[in-house]
């Protein structure tokens, strides 16, 4: 008797996500519109940057008249456009893309995003998605309506037409951005709302970590009235550093991946992969493997260098994988990463959040499981930020905002692991998100971001990444603590100075009036009472010359002459220069300028001023001041010469490294068991924070107790 069929059949990837749309972020109506905007914006930014185009993005959301919770999403960009032949694949086929098999930093990788929007639009309204694409070298634009055959994971094309773009603009009022780009129009079940989890907030966060992008947004009600509108112009014309594809690193391999690579071995010349010697296979397939190291790996694995990759048995593959871990290998190249970098983080934060203090850090690249990654953190304090609420946490992965699942995200856990009370924020019990007038930006740039789900809303746990973020948090925390300490010292000195200058003259005037004596000079008396040297500094924007001017005034209210060398930080980088510097001085280290001051007599003051061009308004608003000389200066920090020497050595080493041609020279140090110490942090596993430097980069008191 024949056995009946079990009825089992294979489902396509499109059918799976059609039934499980919540995996892609389409689980609630408010969240669905954010997900749709995110997927479109990610594609636009990636495409523009890959073709070295400064991105212009326009996002419009319209409520559909007479339809409850139905929205029309229209996005436009000035990217390179998509050829007519590729449109159906890009918008109508899940898991189609150019980035899944590459190892470099990108916003999207799986090839699910924009096709997911097409699928959700069709699923909830039955309407296709309209796409107009204009490629610069082509005479006209292409318009096509796209649906999705979920059973075949294939696009359904209708109303395909090519015509001059001017005709489209005139007939439809589409306000095309330029000679090239993409316009997408998708109708879907969704709900527009304002607040922390909204399209407005998502685009605002996107503008912070993409300061080179110009973004405009509006939401329109059923009657045509505007209910929300905002724009975030670019603050820099500097595109992110181009990223390059790299080969997989042996330290990140699993046995199944290695077996697949061995089976698919490609020959260095004609003749077939099966005849490729193992030594050439290793050298040509992986990064950081020179001929010498290939031979060392093969010898440790007890294999022959001429062995064919496809002939290796399971035990041979295991031995090869074990040999990789026994050989000290250089880290993979880091030109696959494109960090935002300190100055541009400050630019992005300054255009989105009003504040009085910004501290940023871009850590050196590190490697985890063979994958390069880099951590950046920015802390913004004061201004209009509320002081009685938890601080704002702005999370990003590869320049993409993470809007949901904050509590379960690795970035949040790393922030919560720091005792923020030590740095001036309210942190009851040392747990959870601290309170205070502050916002923290955390950005992870990586070739392989590990998310907790397909919706890419939170990062999965990773010890190496956690430790790097924690060290970055400690660094910006020290910057905040020093800022608050300096402000407190200056406030006390200023209060004392003002009291003395108000009360003492009144006592003097009344006394000489009663005694009928001649007035006496008060400066020596004020000096004796104050008995301090203190500094007042300010950084101001001069609109006329488009300069940022810094002035530092040092007062000697002590009983003896004082001589100092004063040092100030400044944003030294390409395109930025110091101008109008009357006292001259000299460059002490990167980002640090020094002036040797003439001896100040008691009761006198000296002013140091300089201007910097090449910056936008508000980008640079805070300086750190250090000094050499006897005695303390309120508002400045005594220079730590050891740390300065270490910085100079690192700077010289960096210049030498740029000139090296040795392919085996490591770009970063791999150490997955422990996080390497930096010049400004002394790592102590039992009490890491207790061993930090007290005064930041150049300050004295490293390792002192609080």
Please name each of the domains of the chain with its CATH number.
13-232 (3.30.565.10), 250-326 (1.10.8.50), 521-639 (2.60.40.1170)
Give the best-scoring range by mean pLDDT among 253-257, 374-378, 397-401, 699-703: 374-378
pLDDT at residue number 650: 65
pTM of the prediction?
0.65
pLDDT at residue number 680: 34
Question: Please, what is the Cα angle at 576 between 401 and 234, to 5 degrees?
Answer: 35
C-beta of residue 345 within 8 angstroms of C-beta of residue 378: yes
C-beta of residue 197 within 8 angstroms of C-beta of residue 27: no
Count of beta carbons in the 10 Å neighbourhood of residue 366: 24
Q: Which two tokens stand for residue 238?
A: 């500097």
pLDDT digits over 608-642, tens only?
A: 999 999 888 777 877 888 898 887 888 788 887 87
pLDDT at residue number 610: 94
Query: Using CA of residue 276, residue 277, residue 280, residue 281, what is the dihedral sign?
Result: positive
527: three-class secondary structure by DSSP:
helix
Q: How far apart are the first and last CA of the chain?
A: 84
Count of beta carbons in the 10 Å neighbourhood of residue 346: 25
133: three-class secondary structure by DSSP:
strand
Phi, psi of 451, rounded to the nearest 5 degrees: -95, 165
C-beta of residue 664 within 8 angstroms of C-beta of residue 515: no
pLDDT digits over 378-409, tens only?
A: 888 877 778 788 888 888 888 888 888 888 89
Q: Name the region of 287 (left: φ>0; alpha: ψ -120 to 50; beta: rest).
A: beta
Q: Please check the confidence at residue 167 and state whether its pLDDT lies above 70.
A: no
Q: Which two tokens stand for residue 385?
A: 């930020």
pLDDT at residue number 7: 58
Count of beta carbons in the 10 Å neighbourhood of residue 96: 18
Q: Please check the confidence at residue 663 and state whether its pLDDT lies above 60.
A: no
pLDDT digits over 169-202, tens only?
A: 544 544 555 688 999 999 988 898 887 788 998 8
* pLDDT top residue among 145 and 4: 145
Q: How confident is the model at residue 98 (pLDDT cuts 50, 70, 90)?
A: very low
Q: How confident is the model at residue 679 (pLDDT cuts 50, 70, 90)?
A: very low
Write down the residue that tokens 């002394």 correspond to. 682
226: three-class secondary structure by DSSP:
strand
C-beta of residue 130 within 8 angstroms of C-beta of residue 92: no
213: three-class secondary structure by DSSP:
coil
| C-alpha dist (Å) from residue 135 to 83, 98, 181 | 7, 18, 7
Secondary structure E strands in 336-427: 357-362, 366-368, 371-381, 392-397, 400-402
Mean per-residue pLDDT over the chain, rounded: 77
Q: Residue length, the chain?
A: 706
pLDDT at residue number 454: 67
Q: Please check the confidence at residue 374 and state whether its pLDDT lies above 50.
A: yes
Q: How confident is the model at residue 219 (pLDDT cuts 50, 70, 90)?
A: very high
Biggest CA–CA distance in the chain, Å, is: 132
Mean pLDDT of 344-369: 73
C-beta of residue 337 within 8 angstroms of C-beta of residue 446: yes
The Cα 76–Cα 88 span in angstroms is 18
The Cα 602–Cα 615 span in angstroms is 38
Q: Please check the confidence at residue 8 and state whether its pLDDT lies above 70.
A: no
The Cα 151–Cα 233 span in angstroms is 43
500 contacts: CB under 8 Å, gap ≥ 6: 526, 529, 530
Mean pLDDT of 205-230: 90
Q: Which element (helix H / strand E) includes 335?
A: none
Q: Please check the confidence at residue 119 and state whether its pLDDT lies above 90.
A: no
Q: How confident is the model at residue 348 (pLDDT cuts 50, 70, 90)?
A: low
Q: Please check the confidence at residue 210 and state whether its pLDDT lies above 80.
A: yes
The Cα 338–Cα 333 span in angstroms is 12
The Cα 63–Cα 67 span in angstroms is 8
Q: Which two tokens stand for residue 205?
A: 């966060």
C-beta of residue 149 within 8 angstroms of C-beta of residue 179: no
686 contacts: CB under 8 Å, gap ≥ 6: none
The Cα 553–Cα 530 span in angstroms is 16
Q: Which element (helix H / strand E) includes 591?
A: none
Question: Please, what is the Cα angle at 588 between 587 and 591, to 5 degrees?
Answer: 75
């Amino acid at each position: 008797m024949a056995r009946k069929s079990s009825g089992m059949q294979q489902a396509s990837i499109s059918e799976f996500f059609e039934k499980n749309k919540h995996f892609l972020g389409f689980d609630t109506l408010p969240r669905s519109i954010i997900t749709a905007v995110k997927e479109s914006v990610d594609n636009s930014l990636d495409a523009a940057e890959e073709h070295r185009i400064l991105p212009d993005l326009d996002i419009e959301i319209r409520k559909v008249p007479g339809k409850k919770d139905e929205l029309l999403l229209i996005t436009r960009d000035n990217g390179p456009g998509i050829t007519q032949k590729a449109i159906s694949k890009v918008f109508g086929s899940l898991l189609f893309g150019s980035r899944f098999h590459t190892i470099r930093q990108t916003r999207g990788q799986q090839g699910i995003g924009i096709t997911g929007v097409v699928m959700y639009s069709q699923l909830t309204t039955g309407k296709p998605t309209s796409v107009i694409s204009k490629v610069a070298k082509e005479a006209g634009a292409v318009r096509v309506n796209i649906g999705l055959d979920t059973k075949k994971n294939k696009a359904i094309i209708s109303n395909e037409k090519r015509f001059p773009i001017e005709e489209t603009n005139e007939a439809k009022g589409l306000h095309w951005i330029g000679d090239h780009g993409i316009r997408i129009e998708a109708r879907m079940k969704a709900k527009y709302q304002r607040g922390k989890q909204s399209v407005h907030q998502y685009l605002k966060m996107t503008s912070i970590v993409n300061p080179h992008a110009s973004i405009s947004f509006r939401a329109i009600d059923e009657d045509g009235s505007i209910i929300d509108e905002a724009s975030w112009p670019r603050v820099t014309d500097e595109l992110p550093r181009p990223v390059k594809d790299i080969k997989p690193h042996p330290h990140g391999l699993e046995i199944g991946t290695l077996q697949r690579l061995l089976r698919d071995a490609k020959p260095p010349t004609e003749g077939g992969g099966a005849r490729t010697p193992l030594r050439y296979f290793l050298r040509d397939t992986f990064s950081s493997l020179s001929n010498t190291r290939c031979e060392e790996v093969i010898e440790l694995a007890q294999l022959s260098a001429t062995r064919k990759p496809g002939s290796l048995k399971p035990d041979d593959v295991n031995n090869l994988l074990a040999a990789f871990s026994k050989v000290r290998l250089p880290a993979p190249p880091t030109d696959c990463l494109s960090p935002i970098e300190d100055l541009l983080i400050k630019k992005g934060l300054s255009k989105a959040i009003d504040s009085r203090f910004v501290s940023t850090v871009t850590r050196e690249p590190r490697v985890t499981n063979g994958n390069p990654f880099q951590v950046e953190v920015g802390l913004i304090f004061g201004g209009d930020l509320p002081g009685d609420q938890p601080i704002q946490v702005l999370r990003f992965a590869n320049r993409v905002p993470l809007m949901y699942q904050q509590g379960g995200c690795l970035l949040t856990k790393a922030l919560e692991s720091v005792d923020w009370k030590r740095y001036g924020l309210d942190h009851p019990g040392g747990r959870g998100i601290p309170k205070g007038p502050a916002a923290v930006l955390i950005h992870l740039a990586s070739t392989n971001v590990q998310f907790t789900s397909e919706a890419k809303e939170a990062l999965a746990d990773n010890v190496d990444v956690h430790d790097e973020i924690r060290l970055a948090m400690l660094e910006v925390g020290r910057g905040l603590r020093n800022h608050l300490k300096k402000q407190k010292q200056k406030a006390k000195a200023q209060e004392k100075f003002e009291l003395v200058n108000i009360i003492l003259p009144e006592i003097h005037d009344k006394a000489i009036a009663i005694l009928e004596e001649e007035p006496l000079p008060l400066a020596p008396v004020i000096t004796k009472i104050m008995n301090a040297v203190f500094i007042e500094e300010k950084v101001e924007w001069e609109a006329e010359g488009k300069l940022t001017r810094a002035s530092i005034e040092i007062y000697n209210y002590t009983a003896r002459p004082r001589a100092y060398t004063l040092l100030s930080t400044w944003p030294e980088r390409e395109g930025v220069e110091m101008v109008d510097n009357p006292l001259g001085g000299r460059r002490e280290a990167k980002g640090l300028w020094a002036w040797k001051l003439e001896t100040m007599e008691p009761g006198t003051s000296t002013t140091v001023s300089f201007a910097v061009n090449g910056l936008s308004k508000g980008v640079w608003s805070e300086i750190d001041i250090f000094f050499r000389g006897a005695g303390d200066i309120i508002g400045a920090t005594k220079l730590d010469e050891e740390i300065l020497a270490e910085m100079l050595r690192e700077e010289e080493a960096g210049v030498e490294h740029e000139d090296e041609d040795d392919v085996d020279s490591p770009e970063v140090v791999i150490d997955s068991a422990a996080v390497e110490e930096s010049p400004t942090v002394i790592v102590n596993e039992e009490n890491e924070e207790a061993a930090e430097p007290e005064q930041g980069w150049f300050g004295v008191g490293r390792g002192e107790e609080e």
